Chain A
Amino acid sequence: MTTETLTMGKALNLGLRRAMDDDPKVVLMGEDIGRLGGVFRVTDGLQKDFGEARVVDTPLAEAGIVGTAVGLALRGYRPVCEIQFDGFVFPAVNQIVTQVAKISARSQGRMRMPVVIRIPFGGGIGAVEHHSESPEAYFAHTPGLKVVSVSNPVDAYWGIQQAIAAPDPVVFLEPKRRYWEKAEVDLDAIPEPLFRSRVVRRGDDVTVLAYGPMVATALQAAAAAAEEGRSLEVVDLRTLSPLDLDPVVDSVRRTGRCVVVHEAQVSHGLGAEIAARLTEQCFHSLEAPVLRAGGYDVPYPPARNEEEYLPDLDRVLDAVDRAMGF
């Protein structure tokens, strides 16, 4: 067993490296990913080892990155696109929504799009405008795309490899504020499947659902709640589209209460879809409506106001209190 203590950024780096070793068709492309190693250094050293044909420093154009990735995929390659920041994916959204997402269906399955679109997403790092967005709902709303978000180095290491190996396009959301958090990663383990959610803490009173950057927050909330004698079950959603709600349904049937946490604005977000499904599947077990703790319905605020905007431990506990109050 080879175990290493890795930050999430380093875990992604090693995962990418292993995917490139395993499959010569894997090509990384993005702005500043080669020589510089990416603005978060996730691709550090890869161009040096795999060359400029496999780690491509692209011109500054996101539609170009994803559009040429489509062409490379049609030619049998497995492109992994890095979008430098969440707020800069939008020039590529035309290619993602009208092309990447639809090519399999419109070709009746004759053509596949094994493209991965990596996006550092979310806030909490004190950044300027357009560097703290949570655009997952746009992609989750688009049939033909799969959308995942990792919350820890272990899932990052395996998840990126699984996303690259997957036959369908995957939008791979990396919580940038957790890039520097460390964990032990067993490099020989048998990984959990990518498109599965997972209970990460057992509890009886309220089920708290989170993904990406908010899993750590939910776990902190659970620890704080435990001190006050309240037991929270925390589920890391991991896959946002397709949703894997079976473990959630089991959990909510026991607890009768559920809080969904995400950084993204609450209205028309992932939480709304989850609440609807849980209402359908757990209606008779619910003791309280499914509640949401998320960003307010405003543009992401200037950095010095982001703490008040982002759901934090207190906001999660507040939602838990409200759920218990029904």
Chain B
Amino acid sequence: MSTVPELVQLLTPEGQRVEDPTHAIDLSADELRGLYRDLVLVRRWDVEATALQRQGELGLWPPLLGQEAAQVGAGHALQPGDMAFPTYREHGVAWVRGVDPLHVMSLYRGVDNGGWDPAETGLNLYTIVIPAQTLHATGYAMGVQRDGAETAVLAFLGDGATSQGELSEAMIWAASFSAPVVFFCQNNQYAISAPIERQSRVPLAHRAAGFGFPGVRVDGNDVLAVLAVTRAALTAAREGQGPTFIEAFTYRMGAHTTSDDPTRYRLAHEVEEWRRRDPIARLRTHLEQEGIADADFLAAVEAEGEELAARIRRGTIAMQPRPAVTMFDAVYAEQPPPLAAQRDEFLAYQASFEEAGR
């Protein structure tokens, strides 16, 4: 039986700062306020998206509720030239990378599969097939090595994803070639209905040792600790020290997606217990106690959240489907003649309805 690994924590759930010399972090008041603002804004976006799904404006929404600190902290650990490979839930990372929320909304509205440019934003497109992106991240990191570049790669995954064979392969590759990739696992305690115990009998952070690289468990609801740990791991990767596995210990406060009914598999008191470890409340307490945030600042962030939500709502509702013919357009770099012919037939078929006046 393995022991529970130490949990890196720099901010207690009550908002008290913990000194930890091995995970030192020194942030300016502006940076701290910036983190708080991001946490609040991504939560506001998430709440709006859930509401929009309920109103039929999105096909589906996987909420990040409860995981804001893990995502915002990890996102801020990245440098502009770094590359991140998200799952389908990393809205907080997308936000920090400067992806317009509407480009994420278009995916869940069923308009496209993600409208942003990965090369421009340093965020790969969302990946739904678990955990395909962990191998992509590793290969990308191998490319970085060959380029001799000062770039690190961050691969996101969930606790459930750790059961897939492909993650084993990714971790073996990363270790074997000492690739500059960091595996960032948000252990939100569930894979849909399956509790973490179904995926692992050891703390996930312990898995890394078997592959030959460091594993760290960090309080995923503590944005400072997540930032410190992830930044250190990315720096190590950039400096040629190879991969790290980070287990961000957190909780999925919402449903798996808007199609899910979590009351079928977990108890309300568990959710309540985690509510007391809320990632936003603890940072607010800390900032207030330190005199870094006053009522005006907090109100301004709230107001900004309302504006953001309104913009997301307007933008989402206004989003029209792309012309159906575009489904033929980017399948290949060089469109094969039979497909071009099929495209023409499709257009002629559509036109036949217009002629018929239907």
Contact = CB atoms under 8 A, between A and B. Distances in A.
A91 B353 CA distance: 41
Contacts of B59: 126-128, 303
A304 B331 contact: no
Interface string B93-130: 00000000000000111111100000000000000111
Contacts of A303: 59, 110
Given A296-B342, A299-B331, A32 B322 contact: no
Contacts of A88: 129-130
Nearest to A130: B128
Interface string A199-229: 0000000000000000000000000000000
A58 B209 CA distance: 25
Interface string B302-339: 00000000000000000001101011100100000011
Interface residues of A, number: 39
B82 interface: no
Interface string B263-275: 0110000000000
A36 B339 CA distance: 42
A87 B342 contact: no
Interface of B: 59-60, 88, 107-113, 128-130, 160-161, 163-166, 191-194, 198-199, 259, 264-265, 321-322, 324, 326-328, 331, 338-339, 342, 346, 349-350, 353
A292 to B, nearest CB: 12
A24 interface: no
A143 interface: no
Given A296-B346, A304-B321, A305-B324, 20 more contacts: A31-B191, A31-B192, A31-B194, A36-B265, A57-B198, A59-B194, A64-B163, A87-B129, A128-B108, A297-B331, A297-B338, A298-B328, A298-B339, A301-B324, A302-B107, A302-B112, A302-B321, A302-B322, A303-B110, A304-B109
A316 to B, nearest CB: 13
Contact of A128 (B110, B264, B350): B110
A35 interface: yes
28 contacts: A31-B194, A34-B193, A35-B264, A39-B192, A58-B198, A60-B160, A60-B163, A61-B164, A61-B165, A63-B165, A87-B128, A90-B129, A126-B110, A127-B59, A129-B113, A130-B129, A267-B338, A296-B342, A297-B342, A298-B339, A302-B112, A303-B110, A304-B109, A304-B111, A304-B322, A305-B324, A305-B327, A314-B353
Contacts of A59: 160, 163, 194, 198-199
Nearest to B332: A298
Interface in A178-216: none
A309 interface: yes
A90 B59 CA distance: 24
Nearest to B329: A298
Contacts of A304: 109-111, 321-322
B265 A129 contact: no
A9 interface: no
Contacts of A35: 193, 264-265
Contacts of A315: 349
Contacts of A32: 192-194
Given A130-B129, A297-B338, A60 B164 contact: yes
A36 B192 contact: yes
A308 B322 CA distance: 11
Given A88-B129, A128-B60, A305 B194 contact: no
A305 B321 contact: yes
A269 interface: no
Looking at B113, B193, B265, B328, which has the most chain A CB atoms within 10 Å of its CB? B193
Contacts of A4: none
A36 B129 contact: no
Nearest to A301: B327
Nearest to A90: B129
Given A36-B265, A63-B165, A302-B111, A296 B328 contact: yes
Contacts of A127: 59-60
Given A35-B265, A129-B128, A296 B327 contact: yes
B170 to A, nearest CB: 13
Interface string A274-301: 0000000000000000000000111101
Looking at A61, A130, A267, which has the most chain B CB atoms within 10 Å of its CB? A61
Contacts of A302: 107, 110-113, 321-322
A37 interface: yes
